[in-house]
Structure 1
Amino acid sequence: MENKTTRLYFIDAMRAWAILMMLQGHFIDGLLDTAFRDGTNTAFSIWKYFRGITAPVFFTVSGFIFTYLLIKGDKTGLQNPRIKKGVRRGLELLFIGYLLRMNLFGLLQGKIYDSFYLIDVLHCIGLSLLGIIAIYLLAQKQKKFVFPTVLLSITVLLFIFEPTYKAWSFSYLPDAFANYLTKSNGSVFTILPWFGYASFGAFLSVVFTKYKDFKYLYFVAIPAFTAIGATLIAYSSDWFLLISKITDLQLFANIYFNNYLFIRLGDVLLVFSVFMLLRGLLKHSTVLKLGQSTLTIYIVHFIILYGSFTGLGLYRFFHHSLTPAVAISGALVFMVICTYSALKYEENKELIKLRIATTLRLVFVKIEIISLNIFQLSKSRFFRLLRRVGLAKN
């Protein structure tokens, strides 16, 4: 994607939009007073619906971008340099996900709180990247259609069987592992079914890569995505009800009663359509930088809002206590602060890393000098004590 002729700018813009939606969504959902959460209010209902689109779009775009980079080169299998980078990236996201949930005050007391083991977006995306790599490696020696077919099949199967595995408690697993599969302990996201959106994004990237040089790619893709997305939103629930009546299987009836996964998949396709349609207007450098800085923005927002490391975040002091006017204006300020801080960090990242490394080096040198001085002093006093009791000569 570094090449201007192959870079899909609308994907960066989608990621920028998704991270901004996440910022305001987390702020308002966490701090708005419960008295104002009125489902009959049109404005609140619209906000709530669009907030529900954010995570599916983010997972889909993450899978799309990663796979687009993974398969665009000439090298395949383990010779593909993107494999090593992808594994490192996936593990990095898992590490940062746990790091953001660490409480330093508890750590100083020798405690690790249960919230440390809860699973969030970064954990699931990190694990999803590793999952896509595994599928890619397993399918590399097969025919080309196998990789996208498996990706799409995973999405469909995870979404269809969600009512079944959602009921499983996974109590036989340690909480640290069970939290990846169930929300019963408080996890915000679980790898099932959210990997389904990442695998769907990976499937779309394979399609785009195959037809990237097709002259009428967007002319075909935009109406196709719009039609399929609108159909999933409007008719997928009725399809599952009909299948349930024909097969007499309760599984499809359960999907009908809570068909959020396929409806959100339709929303994702409509968002793709809108951004593809506006792709010519989405090449502003700031928009692209935001799309490329989502991890930094996420980290900054988590620290400010939820108080990573200290527990002293906005969530602790203003949880469900703000009026709509204050919450909306606060969300706008919050978005500006998070994005500005993240972009400034990205601009000066190398310098900041150098200063941190230099500072740590100086700290270690100081610690080493102090340790040596303490050792020499202790050694001198220890031998002085031995001489006093007659166990050592002068």
Structure 2
Amino acid sequence: MENKTTRLYFIDAMRAWAILMMLQGHFIDGLLDTAFRDGSSVTFSIWKYFRGITAPVFFTVSGFIFTFLLIKGDKTGLQNPRVKKGIKRGLELLFIGYLLRMDLFGLLQGKIYDSFYLVDVLHCIGLSLLGIIGVYLLSQKRKKYIFPTALVSITVLLFIFEPTYKTWSFSFLPDAFANYLTKSNGSVFTILPWFGYAAFGAFLSVVFTKFKNFKHLYSVAIPLFAITGAALIAYSSDLFLHLSQSTDLQLFANVYFNNYLFIRLGDVLLVFSVFMLLRGLLKHSTVLKLGQSTLSIYIVHFIILYGSFTGLGLYRFFHHSLTPSVAISGALVFMIVCTFSALKYEDNKELIKLRITTILKFALVKIEAFSLGVFQLGKSRFFRLLRKVSRAKN
């Protein structure tokens, strides 16, 4: 909070960067020909590594921003208006997540395809927000350190036990619920372990709020985040190897053999440190607006790339078929189209909502009038039929 303002501009800039990385990542990953996915290529390896950073950053920033707003007021518990808004927001994200996976042609045939029940990033973020609210409410009547301690504990436990629960199929649950916990049915994200990043973002938000008036906040935070992030990347695997050898627990060995969660957490902290360092350069209105319009950008990108509602997206026509030059230039155009469309929507959101509401009301009136006419006609014919039957009996 520079200049006594409560807005953290670098967080909006991080969110803008993450959504742009997501756009190009989804485009190239979905449309680049498999023949060009060369693991020995330095360029492709760098792109792949940075693509892997996107989701952890996005989840962490989402948890940070939500919790920052949740705890900044004077009211606590259920008296906090942000609790109600947060529940509404979480449910809204879940609804939009399912809506984007809906196939209108299937609905017209009375079918709901299995892909409708798959879980994606919006489902997990929505459920993560609800989870943060749950932890917040459960810890409100306890000492203040309980809330951040619970959040960081959730992160550590989810990350450490990931090798164990990722093997569970959750076959005893209906697929619609199991998809939140396992990728075996095709879900892109699962609440475990991704809630860990959102919880960690919430933890960082509590820390920032506590020290918001500290004069040397960034002077301490930037090197601390950079050193901790670098340590997680360089030494967390060795730590789990040492723990495995010391305790003879297979769990720590399993983490060591696939230690991507803690390494990605280190990447997230490094990204935080870079954006905090450059915070003075990240106050451009377009950057901030992009950071505040990520949901609209995500929706537009999903419709164009994956063909929500109709199935007629770029993914259907160009899946794994583009050369690198076409994929890269196409990704740039795709990013521009998605962000421009989303920002235009945000600028005219109220007018668009008003028009949609007006159209829906008009349609409902017409449907009601048509239904009433059909009912009256049916009733008239029904009574005629009764009279004819009565005459026939007589």
TM-score range (shorter-chain normalised) is: over 0.9
1:377 partner SS: helix
Q: Give the residue type in structure 2 aligned to 1:303.
A: I
C-alpha RMSD of the superposition: 1.5
- Aligned equivalent of 2:208: 208
Aligned counterparts, 1:24-43, within 5 A: 24-43=24-43
- Aligned equivalent of 1:161: 161
CA–CA separation in structure 2 for the residues paired with 1:372 and 1:87 = 38
Taking structure 1 as the reference length, the TM-score comes to 0.97
CA–CA separation in structure 2 for the residues paired with 1:359 and 1:212 = 47
Deviations 1:323-362 (A, max 9, x none): 0011111111110111011000010000000001111111
- Aligned equivalent of 2:326: 326
Deviations 1:148-171 (A, max 9, x none): 011011101111111111111111
- Aligned equivalent of 1:219: 219
Change (3 A) 1:344 1:391: farther
2:154 partner SS: helix
CA–CA separation in structure 2 for the residues paired with 1:389 and 1:180 = 59
Q: 1:96 deviation in Å?
A: 0.7
CA–CA separation in structure 2 for the residues paired with 1:368 and 1:248 = 71
Asked if residue 55 in structure 1 is aligned to residue 44 in structure 2, the reply is: no
Q: 1:386 deviation in Å?
A: 4.8
- Aligned equivalent of 2:336: 336
CA–CA separation in structure 2 for the residues paired with 1:132 and 1:333 = 36
- Aligned equivalent of 2:249: 249
CA–CA separation in structure 1 for the residues paired with 2:256 and 2:71 = 36
Asked if residue 233 in structure 1 is aligned to residue 239 in structure 2, the reply is: no
Aligned counterparts, 1:116-195, within 5 A: 116-195=116-195
The alignment-based identity, stated in percent, is: 86
CA–CA separation in structure 2 for the residues paired with 1:381 and 1:150 = 68
CA–CA separation in structure 2 for the residues paired with 1:338 and 1:4 = 34
CA–CA separation in structure 1 for the residues paired with 2:158 and 2:368 = 54
Deviations 1:37-65 (A, max 9, x none): 00000110000000000000000000000
Asked if residue 349 in structure 1 is aligned to residue 349 in structure 2, the reply is: yes
Which ranges of structure 2 fall in alignment gaps of 5 or more residues? Answer: none
CA–CA separation in structure 1 for the residues paired with 2:77 and 2:117 = 33
Deviations 1:54-97 (A, max 9, x none): 00000000000000000000000110000000000001111111
| Number of residue-to-residue matches in the alignment | 391
Q: 1:292 deviation in Å?
A: 0.6
1:119 partner SS: coil
Q: 1:215 deviation in Å?
A: 0.6
Q: 1:378 deviation in Å?
A: 3.5
Q: 1:382 deviation in Å?
A: 4.1
Q: Give the residue type in structure 1 aligned to 2:187.
A: S
CA–CA separation in structure 2 for the residues paired with 1:11 and 1:179 = 30
Q: Give the residue type in structure 1 aligned to 2:86.
A: G
CA–CA separation in structure 1 for the residues paired with 2:107 and 2:33 = 32
Q: 1:379 deviation in Å?
A: 3.7
2:173 partner SS: coil
CA–CA separation in structure 2 for the residues paired with 1:117 and 1:382 = 43
CA–CA separation in structure 2 for the residues paired with 1:113 and 1:383 = 43
Change (3 A) 1:159 1:389: closer
Q: 1:250 deviation in Å?
A: 1.2
Q: Give the residue type in structure 2 aligned to 1:293.
A: S
Q: Give the residue type in structure 2 aligned to 1:276.
A: M
Q: 1:109 deviation in Å?
A: 1.1
- Aligned equivalent of 1:93: 93
1:223 partner SS: helix
Q: Give the residue type in structure 2 aligned to 1:22.
A: M
CA–CA separation in structure 1 for the residues paired with 2:380 and 2:160 = 74
Q: 1:389 deviation in Å?
A: 5.5
- Aligned equivalent of 1:103: 103
Q: Give the residue type in structure 1 aligned to 2:161.
A: F
- Aligned equivalent of 1:372: 372
Taking structure 2 as the reference length, the TM-score comes to 0.97
Which ranges of structure 1 fall in alignment gaps of 5 or more residues? Answer: none
Q: Which moved more, 1:259-268 or 1:369-378?
A: 369-378
